[in-house]
Amino acid sequence: MSEQTLVITSAIAPLLAEARAASEQVSQRLCGHTVEMLELRSPWHRVRGRDGYEGWLHLGFARALSVKEQRTRYAISRVSLGCTVRDRDGGVTVLPLGCVIADDTRIEHGEAIAQADLAGKFPRAGDAIAQSAVELFRSTSYQWGGITPWGADCSGFVQTCFGLHGISLPRDARQQALAGADAGREMQAALVGDLLFFSDRSNGTITHVAIALGGGRLVHLALGRGGYQVESLDATDDPYVKALTGRFQFARRLV
């Protein structure tokens, strides 16, 4: 492990477009996750996460992680499914879905699972991915750059859901549109767990992604809905659904 590795110490750390507090949030990094430090402009780090996405992280959200600490404190590598934890110093923190919990941290409330057990609870199957999307993100508000049920955008929602099921995806919708195999241009024919891609640009650049639920339904995190929504594509009297259908470009299949 590089000496330039950092570990996130807050529940959620914003990843910004520029090295200033007022800059746009482009993504997030979660507690216990590691990032590679690429550049230092104290107190800001330009970092890269495991998904290859880069941005600026303030020093207050992370600290250096040694190889020894990685091996001794994160050997089990438990993943939060939404829980409250107490660390070795007695501090209590509420963690969203996806955080990595140190081995010497006690779970007070909620649920976590060992990284090694994720595949059993979250299999690589379209129906299982769709179920996680519907159940774990229900009532989530839309937040540009967000990746958790505390607030997410469309591609952050998709990346997190598929990641739980062992399928790594890039961060942005236009990048995710290159993953998997072609699943056609008939939205109603999409299988459960297929990704559906949309564009509101004249040149067809992908700007939105959703997860197909089958039976002419989808689930997504949409700005136009304020966040989480299950849509029935048969609801043609709904102006939003009508506009969404008109922006559909194609589907992709990952499982």
Distance between CA atoms of residues 47 and 69, nearest Å: 20
Catalytic residue selected from 45, 154, 161, 165:
154
Q: Which of 31, 99, 161, 220 is catalytic?
A: 220
Backbone angles phi, psi at 175, to 5 degrees: -75, -40
Residue 224 · residue 240 · CB < 8 Å: yes
Give CA–CA dist 53/28, Å, rounded.
Answer: 10
The verdict on whether 154 is a catalytic residue reads: yes
Beta-carbon count within 10 A of 1 CB: 13
- Shortest CA distance to 79 belongs to which of 114, 129, 40? 114
- Residue 95 burial (CB < 10 Å; 0-12/13-18/19+)? buried
Residue 109 annotated to the active site: no
The answer to whether residue 31 is catalytic is no
Helices 126-136 + 154-164 axis angle, to 10 = 120
Query: DSSP strand E in the chain: where?
Result: 5-8, 12-16, 25-30, 34-41, 44-48, 54-58, 62-64, 78-86, 92-95, 100-101, 106-114, 147-148, 151-152, 181-182, 195-198, 208-214, 217-222, 227-232, 248-253
Which residues does the annotation mark as catalytic? 154, 208, 220
